[in-house]
Amino acid sequence: MPVGQQRIEGVYAVTQPGPGLEDSVSAVLRGGVRIVQYRDKSADTERRRREAEALQRLCASHGALLIVNDDVELAASVAADGVHLGRDDGGVAAARSRLGPGAWIGVSCYADLDRARRLAAEGADYVAFGSCFPSPTKPESALAPLELLHQGREATGRPTVAIGGINGGNIGDVAAAGADAAAVVSALFSADDPQSAAQRLVAEWRRNR
């Protein structure tokens, strides 16, 4: 795992596309979040590059990590701290070759402990399980039991990240189940006040972890 950087722990913000992105990310950083994943599946490569560059500057100014979802080349072009790979986003070895030894490479493992073991052996730095709860972002996702969070860490020796439907009402359960981090989308970026939402989520995480 990368040495001498912010760790994968706590509230892990995953962005939603839309206007006001930079302001919303600034707000959650002020609220105490120290990991941001830039997630935008659109084909507008120039806008995505501009947004990712802006978020990298913001995260650096707060001592936070910027992880880019899916796109290894975009992560490389903006000097992001790492990339997060899903099932169809290429291999860990290729991402490591492109981004170097200091990058964080995270992988989606859904509810599959064997996948987590295999990708950790290939060099992934953290493993994500989910959807832990019904998710408005991915309503079709199968549910992953919270027990996988502790099991994943024991099986891989890597930090585990929970994702899917996490909010102020259940983030304490995720923390108590042994996750190192909780990825949050709507509870931050659909909130009327993202900074206050972040502060509440961070506080609830710390109370239960």
**Residues of the chain predicted below pLDDT 70:** 4-5, 137
Q: Copy the structure tokens of residue 139.
A: 């309503």
Residue 182 per-residue DSSP state: E
For 99-126, give the DSSP string.
Answer: H-TTSEEEEE-TT-HHHHHHHHHTT-SE
CA atoms of 18 and 13, how far apart (whole Å): 15
State the pLDDT at residue 5. Answer: 66
Please give the model's pTM, rounded to 2 decimal places.
0.96
Phi, psi (rounded to 5 degrees) for 19: -65, 150
Q: Measured between alpha carbons, how far is 179 from 191 in angstroms, rounded to an integer?
A: 23
Which residue numbers are catalytic? 39, 108, 138
Q: 88-145, pLDDT tens digit by residue?
A: 888 999 999 999 999 999 999 999 999 999 999 999 999 999 999 987 767 777 799 9
Q: What is the pLDDT of residue 88?
A: 87
Burial status of residue 63 (CB atoms within 10 A of its CB: 0-12, 13-18, 19 or more)? exposed
- Mapping DSSP to helix (H, G, I), strand (E, B) and coil, where does residue 35 land? strand
pLDDT of amino acid 110: 96
Domains of the chain: 10-208 (3.20.20.70)
